[in-house]
Amino acid sequence: MGKYIVKRILLLIPTVLVVCILTFAMMRMLPGTALDYMVKRLTAAGQAVDVESLRVRLGLDQPALVQFFTWMGGVLRGDLGNSLFQYESVGEIIGRELPVTIQLGFMELFWTILFAVPLGVWCAARQDGVPDYTFRVFAIIFMAVPTFLVASIVLVYPAAWWGYAPNIKYSGIFQDFGANMRMFLVPSVIGALAQTGMQLRMVRTCCLETMRTDFVRTAWAKGCGEWRVLIKHVFRNSMIPVVTVIGGSVAGIFGGNVILENLFNIPGIGQQLITALDQRDYTVIQGCVLVMAIIVMLINLLVDICYKWLDPRVEID
């Protein structure tokens, strides 16, 4: 097991390298450079711009390959470079904003699992009953209605009717836990809705499939009660495909929920990335993509380890 994990982590290196090259290349291939944006903004502000000296200052006068190796060299020393637009290093930006996004993501995941798994099992156990139909209908609705719509409704109507608005003043989770939770509760629940709908249906389908298997019939024939059959025999066997889907969606969650971050004023990395993309802030984008790629790959590794733990038939080496 330990050997396997080490091997997988070593395999991360070439993958990360490819991600870096691709990000770097794609950013340079986009029409419009950081320089263009900067010149435009400065001119609009009525300042005289010396384009050439600005180009040198940003290091854009170097050939692309030199720029890449300069940046990679920094990365290897643990320095992600400085933002071209903000007076901050990329490391600082990520360190400040990524944890916020991860917190939102984890809370969404928490709600998703908390509701989707037990409700999905219940729906399967009482297939075609009233709760089953009810939850399935809601699952479809949650999946169909876009997040921005739900978020807008939640922001507008309670405020108009009862004068209530969710807290949109950010405080860190370690500074003021209560205020932090009050801020994250609503957006994380909204973000979890679509996921919950999808996972609930997934859990339900997988459970139903497992309930029809021979070994579940064996469990009944042994004299297991319904709960025992569901928990000991159905549940664990039906979690294998569910973990795959949840693992896949985690990557999306940590990619930053731009809409929710925007609407609820959450200072996460998603919003930062959009701005950086707009400005062609090369270092910020490269740094963010690099860190996120590593996180996503580590999560995939975690999912694979989960398989082994869930299903003894999986040969991990």
Partner 1 sequence: MSDNILEVRRLRTSFFTDTGELRAVDDMSYSVRRGEFCAIIGESGSGKSVSALSVMRLISYPPGFIKGGEILFDGRDLMGVSDKEMQAIRGSEIAMIFQEPGTALNPVMTIGAQIEENIRLHERGVSREETARRTAELLELVGIPDPETRLKDYPHQFSGGMKQRAMIAMAMSCRPKLLFADEPTTALDVTVQAQVLEQLNDMRTRFGTSLVLITHNLGVVARYADSVKIMYGGRIVESGSTDDIFIEPAHPYTMGLIRAVPRLDLPRSHGLYTIEGEPPDMSKTPPDCCPFHYRCPYADERCGKERPRDEEVSPGHVCACFRRDVAKAAWKGADA
Q: Which residues bind partner 1 (CB under 8 A)?
A: 213-215, 217-225, 228, 232-233, 236-237, 310-313
Closest distance between partner 1 and the C-beta of residue 221, in Å?
5
Beta carbon nearer to partner 1, 40 or 222: 222
Beta carbon nearer to partner 1, 65 or 317: 317
Closest distance between partner 1 and the C-beta of residue 202, in Å?
19
Please count the other Cβ atoms lying within 10 Å of the Cβ belonging to residue 29.
7
Beta carbon nearer to partner 1, 224 or 305: 224
**Which residue reads 């320095």 in tokens?**
79
Closest distance between partner 1 and the C-beta of residue 224, in Å?
6
Q: In sequence order, what are the residues at sequence separation of 6 or more whose Cβ sits closer than 8 angstroms to the Cβ of residue 28?
A: 64
Closest distance between partner 1 and the C-beta of residue 209, in Å?
13
CA atoms within 13 A on the CB side of 268: 28
Question: Residues 84, 281: contact at Cβ < 8 Å?
Answer: yes
Distance separating alpha carbons of residues 299 and 268, to the nearest angstrom? 20
Closest distance between partner 1 and the C-beta of residue 223, in Å?
3
Beta carbon nearer to partner 1, 182 or 228: 228
Beta carbon nearer to partner 1, 46 or 312: 312
Closest distance between partner 1 and the C-beta of residue 301, in Å?
21
Beta carbon nearer to partner 1, 181 or 314: 314
Beta carbon nearer to partner 1, 208 or 258: 208
Closest distance between partner 1 and the C-beta of residue 217, in Å?
7
Question: Residues 251, 260: contact at Cβ < 8 Å?
Answer: no
Distance separating alpha carbons of residues 7 and 316, to the nearest angstrom? 11
Closest distance between partner 1 and the C-beta of residue 125, in Å?
12
Beta carbon nearer to partner 1, 7 or 217: 217
